[in-house]
């Protein structure tokens, strides 16, 4: 599933998933170094910056 980082909220990135439009908070420790506007792929319980 592909999502876009729409905000950084403290220690969390706020993602909006492209397919569903739902938003999710993901810990930066899990997702890695991302900035607002970056695309992220979630697959097999891991995140990858695209």
Overall pTM surpassing 0.85 (yes/no) = yes
Residue 34, CA distances (Å) to 13, 49 in order: 8, 7
In whole angstroms, give the CA distance from residue 41 to residue 50: 7
What is the pLDDT, as a whole number, of residue 15?
97
What is the pLDDT, as a whole number, of residue 3?
96
Quote the number of domains for the chain: 1
Q: What is the CATH number of the domain that holds 33?
A: 2.30.30
Q: pLDDT truncated to tens, each residue of the chain (50 aa)?
A: 999 999 999 999 999 999 999 999 999 999 999 999 999 999 999 999 99
Residue spans of alpha helices (H) in 1-50? 28-31
What is the pLDDT, as a whole number, of residue 17?
96
Spatial CB neighbours of 32, under 8 Å, sequence gap ≥ 6: 47, 49
What is the pLDDT, as a whole number, of residue 21?
96
Q: How many CB atoms lie within 10 A of CB 24?
A: 13
Is 1:7 a contact under the CB 8 Å cutoff? no
What is the pLDDT, as a whole number, of residue 29?
95
Domain interval for residue 24: 2-49
């Amino acid at each position: 599933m592909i999502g876009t980082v729409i905000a950084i909220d403290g220690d969390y990135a706020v993602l909006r998933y492209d397919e569903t439009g739902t938003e999710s908070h993901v810990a930066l420790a899990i997702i890695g170094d991302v900035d607002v506007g970056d695309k992220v792929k979630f697959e097999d319980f891991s995140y990858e910056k695209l």
